[in-house]
Structure formats: C-alpha cells, structure tokens
Amino acid sequence: MGLRFKIPLGAQWVGWIVFIGAIFTWFLWVDVSLWVHHNQPVYYHRSFVDLFSFPGHPVRSLAAMVMQGISGCWDGAVLMSLLMVAWGGAIFFIFRELRVKPWFSYLVVVSVVPIVSAHGKYHYAAELTFQYLFAAWFTALCLFFVRRWHGRCFGLIILVFSLLVYSFAGHPGLFLFVVLLSVWLVASHHIQRLVWMVLPLLLPYMITHLLPHLTIYEAYWGNYMVCVIDSFVDVPWSIKLYPLFLLVLVAVLLGFNTQERLKPIVELLVFVMLFVLVGWFSRSPKQKLSVRIDKLAYEKRWDELLKVVDQFGDVRSRDVQFQVNRALYHKGLLLEGLFYYPQYYGAGGLFLENETKGDIAMSASDLYFDMSFVSAARHWANEAFTDYGPRPRIVRRLIECYKLEGEPALVKKYESLLRLSPFSLLDDSPTYEQAQVGERSVLSSRNEVLRFHQFENQFVATNHPLTNLYYVVNSEPDHRMGVEYLVACHLLSGNLEELVKQLGRLKAVGYSRLPEAVQEAVLVYRQMNPGGAVDLCGFVVEKKVVERFKAFNALAAGGFRKDVASMKRFNGYKGGYLFYLTFYKPK
Amino acid sequence: MGQRFVVRVRCGAILCRLFCGMIMGGMGLYGCTPSLPKAQQVTRMALLEPVLHGIALPVNIAPLNFVIQEKGVDYRVAFRGKQGDAVVVSDADGIIRIPLKSWKNLLMKNRDDSVSVNVYVRDDSRGWLQFQTARFFVSSDSIDPYVVYRNIGSNNILWSAMSIEQQSLEDGSMTVIADNKLTRRNCMNCHSFNQNNPEQMLLHLRTPPGGTMVKQGDQLSFFNTQTQSTISAGTYPAWHPSGRFIAFSVNQIHQRFFLQTRKYEVVEDKMSDIVLLDIDTQSMLKSPVLSTDNRENLPSWSPDGKFLYYVLGNPYCESDYRENRYNLMRVAFDENTGLFGAPDTLLHAAAMGKSVSFPDVSPDGQWLLFCMADYGYFTVYNTESDIYLMNLRTRDYHRLDVNSVFVESYPTWSSNGKWLMFVSKRRDNMFSRPWFAHFREGVVSSPFVLPQKDPLFYETCLRNFNRPEFVTGKVNLMPSQVAQLASQKPLDCKVEAPIHVDGVSGASRVMP
C-alpha cells in the first residue's frame, strides 16, 4: 500500500528548481528592500581613478549601485536568487571534473547556504556576496584557461587572475580565489602546483608599494577586519570566514569514498530539509519587524505601521515603541491611544537619546524634525552622518535642515553629493518653496522655524529630551506636538506632580476635554496627595472615569501580582493609565 | 509618503566621459595642444572656482586647477606670461586640469611677474566667447612643500574616521601619516611640529589607546602626559625651538550645540592651565604664573624661545558663553632654569568685548598672527572670527583683508615667513579649508585655497582640513608605525618637585 512517487526524467532538475524556488521564497520573506532601507547602500561616482583607489572597491561600488536600485521585495528576491544561482553555477564550473562524484550536488547546494542564511540578518553587508561571487567567477574563468592550455603558463595565469580578483573583489575575493584554486588543485591531483599560490598571497603586500595610503594590515584584512565602526561591522563571522568554510566543506566531501548515490527523491528532500532548517534558524522576525516599522515610519505610512504592530502582537522593542508613539501622534491619538500599546520602556519609548549613539541618531533627528526643532534635528543628523557616512536618508535630512536654516551653500554641497549617484536621489526632496508651505506639524515654514529658534544663549540638550521639550513648549506654547509629548512623557515616567502643572498647556493646543489617561493620572495624583489642590484649568474629570478608577481600586484591593493571570483579571482596564502603572511602568 | 526615485542611469554619460578622457589623454600623450579660437569679446571676467584673478602664487605651487562656471559646450583657457610659451588647456565640461610640467615651467619663467588667464567658452548660439583677462602674480618666495592637517568630518559628539594627512603643495599628492582605522577608531589630534620641521613632530592619540607620540628624527616615543597633578593630559602643544620642552595646555573641554539656527557649536574650557614637558627628563614642569584660577591656554613660542605667547581667560562663566573671553599674553622664559617671568598683557581684548585665540609669531619674531572673535577661543565655530596681525615692536594690530564674513581661524606662518596659512569656512559656513596668502612687510595679498588635483574636489568634500601646519619636507611616518606605537604602553611623565600654585585647576589637580 501507499503511494509510490515516480520522479520523472530529470529528477535532479526538479530538485534544482525546487531549491531555487526555496531560495526565492526565502528572499521574498526576508524582503531585500528592507535590507536596502536599513543599510542605505549608495554609490557616488567621482571618477574612474577613485573606483580603483582601494582593492575591492569596484565590486563594492557595483554592489552598492545594484542594491541601491532595489525598491520592493519581488525585485530583491529575483536579484538575490539570480545571484545565488550564479554562485552555484560558479562552483559547478570550478569543480566540474568532480561532477561524477555522488556528493557533487551537495557541494553546490551547501556552498550557497551560509550566504543565503546571512541575509536573514539585516546588518549583513551584501557587498561581500558580490565580492565572493566575482571571485568565484574569476576562478572559474581562470580554470577555463588552465584547462584550455593544459596547464601551460600556469603561473602567469594565476598572477593575472590574482591581480584581477584583488583589484575588483578585494581581499575577501582573493582569499576565496586562493581557497577555491587550492582545493581544485588538490582534488585534481596537481598538488605540486600549490606552490604557485604564493603569488596571490604575496600580491597584497606588493600592492601596498603601489598604493601608499594602503597599509599592509589593510591590504590583507581590509577595513572591516580592523575597525569597530564600519559598514562591515555586523558581518557575521560565518561570512567573513566563508572561504575557510568552503575549504572544510570540500575537504570533508572529498573524504567520502562512497560511490553510492542517494535516490533523487531523497536528495531532493535532503536539500529542502536542509534549506528549511537553515532558513528557520537564521530568520529574525523581530529584527525584520524593527526594520519594517522604521521603513514605514520613514515613508510616513502611519496607519500601516500601527496595523503591522497590531498584527505582530506583543512587541518588546524600544525602537518599535518609539515609532508607534510617533505614529500615534501623527494620527492625533498620542494621549488617547498611548496605553493601548504596552509601554514597556516608559518615557524611553518616546525618546531614544539617553546617550549619543549612531544607531539612534536618525530616529532622534526624525522626531525633532517632526517638531520643527531644526537645530536638534540637524545635530542628530550630523551625528548619524559621522557614524554612517553619506547615506541618502541622512544627506536628505541635512539638506532639509539647511534649507530651513538658510544655508544655500551647504544645501548645494549636499545636493551635489547626491547628484554623484547614478540614481537620482533628489527628485522627491522638497524644494525650498515646498519646505516653506509644508504641513505645520511636519515641517514648519522657515519664518516659524526662525521664530522658534530665536534665543541666543540656549543650547540643545543633547541627551536630555525633557529639557528640549520644555524649551519647545515655553518658546511656542501652542506647539501641539511639544505639549502632547511633554504630557505623555510625564505620564509614562509617573511624574504626576509635573503632569498636573501642564494641564493648561493642553487647553492652549485646543483640547476641549482631558484625555482619559490624563484624567486617571489626576485621580491617582489626588489619591496620593489628599491635601494637594489640582488646578484643572477648566477641565473636568468625567464621572465614568471616576467610576472606573474606583472599580479598578476595588479590584486591586483584592490583591494581584504582575503576572499573566492577574493581568487577565484587569483586562477590562487595558488602554488605561492605571493598567500601565500597575503592570507595565518600568522602575 | 513614499519616496519614489526616478531612475536616471547615467552610465551612458559615464562611458562617454571615459571615452572622451581616453581620446583627450591620447592627445596629451602625442603632444596635441588645442589651438585658440577666434572669439567674440565679453566685457567681464569669467566666473572661475576658485578665483584666480588678483591672487599671488608661490613659484613652487601645484597647478591651481579650477572650474569655469559659465554655460557652454566647450572651454579653453590660455595662460600666458612674458616669458615662455602659452599653456593652453581645454575641456568639454569646463573642468580645467593644468598639466604639472607646463604649469611649473610657466611659473618658473615668470617669477615676480604676472600671468594672464584668458578664458574661452563656446556657446551653442553665439559661438566662441572670450572673457576679460584675469591675472595672477607669481612670487619668487617659495612656499613650504608640505602641509599637514587632520582630515576630520564635521565635529559632533561622535567621531568616526579621522586621519593625519600631508599634502604636497608642489604637486598636490596626498599621503596618510596616521589613520585611526588602525588604532581602534580613537581620536587623534593636535599634530604639531617644531619650527615646521618634519623630523620633530608630536601627535596625541586619545584613549584607547592613549598617549602622546613624539617623533624626533627616526626615534618615536610615546608619553602619557596625564599626571596626578594635572586636570588632563597635554592638549594644545607648542614645541620650544630648542626641542627640549613642549608647552601644553591642560584643559577641561566641553562642547555645546546652539538652539539657534545657522549657529552650530561652542567648544569651551571649564578650566585650563599651561604646563611644560621636559622631553629629556620626561617630567612635567609647573609654574605658578601659568597655573592660576584663570584659564591659560593655546601656548605658542617666539622663534628665539625667549617668550611664550598664550591667551588668558577669566574663570569659566557657564550661564553665558559670550562672557568667556581671552586676552593676549606673553611671558618671558629662561631655557636654562625652566622658569617664567612676569606675564605681560599684549592685548586686553576682553575689555573691547573681543576674545583672542591661536597666537603665532613670525619666524623673524616681528609679527604676530592671531584670531579675534566675540567670545571663546575655539574660533573654528565663530562665524565672526577673523585673522589679525600685530607688529610686536609697536604692538599695533589690524584686521587683515584676507577675512570673509565666515569663519577664519588657525593662522600660521610658513618657515620663511613669506606665506601665511589659515582655515576658512567661506565656501559653505561648515567645512574648513586651508587658504594661503603672500606676506611682505605687513602687506598681505588676496588668498587662494589649497590646490587640488580634482577641480571639483571641494564641491562634494564633506571633510574638514583641521589644524593645517606647514612643514619643510615630507614627514616620514607611516600609519602602521603609529599603530604599532599606539599598541605600546606609554611612558608615564612624572611631575617635578611640587611648586606651590594658587590655581584651582591645572597644575594643582582638582581633588574630590
């Protein structure tokens, strides 16, 4: 009994197609456009001489240019799948003498796995994929000439291709070239020719004499092995050491003496299982969500942002919380909807800057730009520029800020930089006139900005956002965003004494009734300070809020713990301030 | 609001340029000199960036490549002096790169005379146009062959890539002396030379790894100048001409960022003093004269080593940054005893609502360059900061004509005293560039910017040329040497026998 599958002719081809399909699906899930958003690859073309100023620069530039052009998940998945096919193809051509071996297909498949899986982390530098790919194809081409000329001029061919690989694909490419070639020489029983591998290994040293700005250390290890802060800092070690992985892989497979071939259907299942396992362990949904939320916030798709977070469920990420709060403000729901999301980070979910770090700099800049707080937005954008260099997103922000500040020479300079990109990066940025009539909450007119920043002896409180908020609301009392963030900040930090002093500000920005969370906070304050009077500035605490407050207290009087079971008992109070104070407020 | 990038692939244009470049390069190889066209006259000068008209250039300067900022489809420029052949350069985009050899010949043959610059632009509708002739003067006073500067991004709280680089003023080539990629991205600053001598150099490497590198010939030493008795490691240095002493300021520095628009940053010292490092004994010498409750800062020696010039500010005023002002001082120094005399106020700038910084005495000891701004000493952020010149014999001083409405700061002299260099942010109010001007008997010519091989270099360069210093030759130091030194433990400097000082800061460490 039981079904008996009979794989049609060309079962291996079916296997390959399924495998490529799996890769495509994987990249579709990863969404390469998120990687592009997060890493902002960009190529600025200065001159062809500049292109060769550093070994590996041509391919890195090409990679940046290609990746820069990806705008959606589909084109990203197609491109990356093609690259992986090209990668497998290169391995196939390099070791084609070995294709009669039963494990050959495993070699091809397994060789792409680390690179494919590394893309599950959005910090991975795609430049390395391109550098390895170029190196692999150069190796295949090199071996084509070796085979064609039957090993004659072997040293010369090696030297020429080493030079090509090193110039175009840099030191990672060169190491892969050496490894692939060495493995091929061993596998094809030309061990005595391994001595020629000295040539590519000496090449970086020789290049340092041609390029005086290149140190020997850099020539062999490049930037990303040395520095702490660099675009390559987050490259997984599995990829940095990829050539060694390949060496071990081939060595292990060479060690198999079995001539028995697995049945194609089993082989196919092994491939798919292998891929599913690798994919499962290298996926990072939380990181993906974080990048996706950042992208949606950047594109100001607030509704979609909130929808995505709602769908994801319980999110414990300060970055995400920060963007959710921004989205709530832009939807006009900050004070009403604040506690419908678990504010695990308290006031830390409103601002990210308790210390100056590059990875929060652009988020901080975005927030202050929303507030028309141009000097702070520009300051943080400059901090981001220092850490991440001329990424288009950062440069565009600087252009916007300097336009508002009235620095035409600087605007021109940054625009000139963006014009060096083969892709136009300027068309969507607002012109000076657009900036002047932009939506108030997003972009104040220049005159307003100047009025806002009129005080001479005042400084941006770089790591004290509350000080900045007070500056905003004191200098512009009808600044809605400033007031709402200030009230939210006091609510989240539980500083009710300060909160009750700010109620009048809500009136100034057009509130006709106090948000319910604020009403609850007033009741809490009154309970904690029985003798203290609160000036409600004409607002009232509504009856239904008082009743709910009493009901909550009565329920709480029965005792509770900060666990899931207790939270369930208080489910009816979710979205309220008391629920936050009881279950979420950080110490 | 989605960002929709309109893909405008310019590969065709790039390839076209490459092809044209090859053709033009080929023409150059075979010695084809473009001829000058017959043209209509235009009654104004062509807009050139950087400006050439009216400047004085040293005879040994690298080609001052430039961009013609006029609309056109073809461009030619003819340089003519009284002596020698004309040099004609053409370019389809108006980006003029002058061949090094021809330029050198032109300047050499026309020393102490002017060179004319005729610009021709071909307009689609009007054909060739010839603009009014511009002229620059070629001085036989040569300039030092190298400039050493720190290549750094715009100053923020964070820092990332920075390097100490040297650029040849004679051919425009650049080499790196130290690169923080190799020293764990630490901050490196305040490179300094003794009398422009490339063999005597110092450089601070801030933590980690930290210390002060001192290069004397081929010998490299690494000192830890932070002691129990000083508020910080040595900061702003000045090398005594004898080579034995280095005067350092010790500073508690902090930075603040303005809320105002178009005003960016202020760097201030809460406390500062001046101490002396004796290199021979590796000891820090303190003087009650230079370690007071006030803030002594920015030391600079006279060329004979008999006087130390510095700036002196009142105790720090946190509530209003505009109240932090510095006067110009000098104090006599006895090299044999290591003792200082009584301080002398050269310019009581604070009384005039001004603040002095970065004094630098000319090699002949007669002139003093300094900056003056409305407040503070870190004038690279003071838009109103200008360069002044003082005659040390008469103590008369005046604002130089080289200034702009933007920042001018960090003035310094060439080794022969014929050229001065300063940084200016006149192009964009953000990025500092080195500018040079000829000096003769108190008269200063119009300045020119540091020449670059790529005429478009400054258009997109988002880095600062920080603390540019003249040197009389190439600094023989490799980044790997600096990195190797930085990996070693620095020699701790000791403090000389305690001297009673009144200061709450500096030489007497602030105790908790």
pLDDT confidence band for A225 (50 / 70 / 90): very low
pLDDT digits (tens, 9 = 90+) for A234-256: 556 666 677 777 777 777 776 66
Q: How many CB atoms lie within 10 A of CB A193?
A: 18
Phi, psi of A537 (to 5 degrees): 55, 40
Q: How many CB atoms lie within 10 A of CB A255?
A: 8
ipTM of the complex: 0.86
Secondary structure of residue B456 in the 3-state scheme: coil
Look at residue A142 in the predicted model and tell me its pLDDT. 95
Cα A108 from Cα A101, distance rounded (Å): 12
CB contact under 8 A, A215 and B320: no
CB contact under 8 A, B175 and A454: no
CB contact under 8 A, B430 and A385: no
Residue to substitute from A33, A47, A354, interface B, most B β-carbons within 10 A: A47
Q: Where are the domains of chain B?
A: 33-139, 146-495
- CATH 2.120.10.30 assigned to domain B146-495? The reply is yes
Query: Which residue among B3, B158, B430 sits closest to A387, beta carbon to beta carbon?
Result: B158
Cα B362 from Cα B307, distance rounded (Å): 13
Question: DSSP labels for A220-258?
Answer: HHTTTTT-SSSTTTT--HHHHTHHHHHHHHHHHHHH---
How far off is chain A from B125, nearest CA to CA, in Å? 28
Look at residue A574 in the predicted model and tell me its pLDDT. 86
Look at residue A191 in the predicted model and tell me its pLDDT. 85
At a CB cut-off of 8 Å and minimum separation 6, what does A384 contact?
A358, A361, A362, A365, A391, A394
Task: Report the pLDDT averaged over residues A155-183.
Answer: 92
From 3.40.605.10, 3.40.1190.20, 2.60.40.3780, 3.30.160.60, which CATH number describes the B33-139 domain? 2.60.40.3780
pLDDT along chain B (512 residues), means of 10: 40 46 43 76 95 97 97 96 94 95 96 97 93 97 98 83 94 91 85 96 84 94 89 94 95 89 89 93 90 95 97 94 96 93 96 97 97 96 96 97 96 98 94 97 95 93 94 93 88 72 46 36
Cα B403 from Cα A479, distance rounded (Å): 41
Task: Report the pLDDT averaged over residues A552-557.
Answer: 87
Both tokens assigned to A505: 């500000």
Residue A137 above 60 pLDDT? yes
At a CB cut-off of 8 Å and minimum separation 6, what does A474 contact?
none
Give the dihedral of Cα atoms A489, A490, A494, A497; nearest 10 deg.
170
Residue to substitute from A424, A445, A452, interface B, most B β-carbons within 10 A: A424
CB contact under 8 A, A212 and B175: yes
Both tokens assigned to A205: 């040293």
Cα A99 from Cα A93, distance rounded (Å): 9
Q: Where are the domains of chain A?
A: 11-282, 355-449
Strands B494-495 and B283-285, sheet pairing: parallel
**Which one, of B298, B301, B443, lies nearest residue B373 by Cα?**
B298
Residue A339 above 80 pLDDT? yes
Name the residue with higher pLDDT: A406 or B150: B150
Which residues does residue B273 pair with via DSSP β-bridges, in sequence order?
Answer: B250
Look at residue A236 in the predicted model and tell me its pLDDT. 62
Pick the residue from chain B with its C-alpha nearest to A303: B1
Burial class of B242 by CB neighbour count within 10 A (0 to 12, 13 to 18, 19+): exposed
Half-sphere exposure of A253 (CA within 13 A, CB side): 24
The type of residue at B31 is G
Cα B122 from Cα B131, distance rounded (Å): 11
For chain A, give the percent of residues with pLDDT over 70. Answer: 87
- Inter-CA distances, A397 with A383, A392, A461, B8, B381, Å: 12, 9, 20, 21, 22
Cα B507 from Cα B195, distance rounded (Å): 27
Residue A455 above 80 pLDDT? no
Which residues does residue A537 pair with via DSSP β-bridges, in sequence order?
Answer: none
